[in-house]
Every structure is written in structure tokens, then in C-alpha cells.
Amino acid sequence: MAYKIPKDLDLAKIKRRAKSVPVYLVMKEDQIDTVILPIYGKGLWSTMYAFLALEGDTNTVKGLSFYEHAETPGLGGEVDNELWKKSWKGKKVFSPDWAPVIDLPKAKVDPQRPEAIHQVDGLSGATLTTRGVKNLLRYWLGENGYGPFLANLRQQGV
């Protein structure tokens, strides 16, 4: 079943989405080790599809990997850059009150600053793709995406 996303909520610019989406939980004994969330949204030229892997705390990034997009190689296509992908590891997507605050500033992230824990470098020369990445993450992690599901996981485990 498709659900039409009201324009003002459609941060990822996808217009509609399935009402239920499969997510993947990797268990270690009886604990959630990894939560894998399919996410997607518009870049500059294309809809970009990714998996976001979070630790069992539902907050710490294990990895972000785009598996389909048509952004420009060397510009938006740098979403595939291995070093950039590595820089996501350990970032916290949520604020202490569980608002999605992951950010991709244009200026290089200063690791000394406290907000660096929520920040990954924006892709240079690709402001629009970068904005797409930030917005799709915030959509899917928010109230209208996986937010309620993740809150449930934190409360109940599985």
C-alpha cells in the first residue's frame, strides 16, 4: 500500500512511500546488534537509494551506503567515496531528545567542536546532492519515517 506524503513533510522529495517497509535487525544473542534501514530520496539528478546501519542504540552510525543513484561522478557521485563513507562511522544521528539532527555542513567538520558528533563533511562541488542526503536522512529518521519504530525498539527491545 502506498501512502501519499504531504508536501510540507516530504523532506526526501519522494511524494509517496509504502506504508510498511522491511527493516533488518541483526541480533547478537538476545540483543539488537545492528538496525539496517532502507532509505531513499532525491539528489540533484536522481533518486538515491541507500542502507543506513545503526548500532543497537538506534543512534550510532555503523555505516551508510548508497547502492543506486545517478549523481555526477566526481561531484554528487562522491557519495560512493570510501573515505567519505568511513567518516560516517560513530556519528550520532539523533539529539539527546531524539530529534534527527545529522548534518552535512559545507565547511569541513571541526572534530574539536561538540557538534562534530552529528556532522559529516558535505561533498565539495555538490551542494545539492549533499542537501538531498541530509534531507532524506532526516525524513527517514523522523516522526514520519522510522522515528516511531526506533522509539519502540528502544523501549521494548525485541
Stretch touching ligand FMN by CB under 6 A, among 15-23, 67-75, 82-90, 150-158: 67-75
Pairing of strands 24-28, 2-4: unpaired
> Taking the complex as a whole, how short is the minimal distance between the CB of residue 71 and ligand FMN, in angstroms?
4
Q: Please identify the residue of the shown chain whose CB is closest to the bound ligand FMN.
A: 76
- Show the cell assigned to 21: 517497509
- Show the cell assigned to 123: 561533498
The distance in angstroms from the start CA to the end CA of the chain is 25
Residue 4 zone, left/alpha/beta (φ > 0; ψ -120 to 50; rest)? beta
Please tell me whether residue 39 binds ligand FMN under the rule CB under 6 A: no
Restricting to residues 80-139, which ones interact with ligand FMN according to CB under 6 A? Answer: 124-129
Please tell me whether residue 64 binds ligand FMN under the rule CB under 6 A: no
**Which residues are near ligand FMN by CB under 6 A?**
44-45, 71-72, 75-76, 124-129
